[in-house]
Amino acid sequence: MKTLGADAIYANNNNRNFVSKEKINTDFRPKGRKSKDYKQQQKARAIISKERATRLEGSFGKDKEHYHLKKIKAKTPKTEKIMDFLWYTCF
């Protein structure tokens, strides 16, 4: 069975209808009354959410480390352009 982990912003009716048609499990918070097996579903949603966040945030962190992006101190568009120029001319 397919499983999807996504932020709460994507839990709109169109996406809910699509995943229901395609028989995909999600970590979306359910609408309406709580079901009889609510606790079990809540545990499954928590596992999916944690796994999604770990993989997604971890990949961003690794990329930032790899490309030394933590060292960039540019805060404004002007200083960002200068940093880009320096970055591309030095490497």
**pLDDT digits over 28-83, tens only?**
888 888 888 888 888 888 888 788 777 777 776 676 677 766 666 667 788 777 77
- In the chain, where are the structural domains located? 2-90
pTM: 0.45
53 contact partners, CB below 8 Å, separation of at least 6? 5
pLDDT of residue 12: 93
Strands (DSSP E) found in 1-91: 2-4, 24-26
Q: Which residues face 25 on adjacent strands?
A: 3
Residues 5-19 pLDDT 10s: 887 888 999 999 999
Distance in angstroms (rounded) separating the CA atoms of residues 34 and 32: 7
Residue that wins the pLDDT comparison between 47 and 88: 47
Q: What is the pLDDT of residue 41?
A: 81
C-alpha–C-alpha distance, residues 56 and 50, integer Å? 10
Q: Which tokens sit at 90?
A: 């030095």
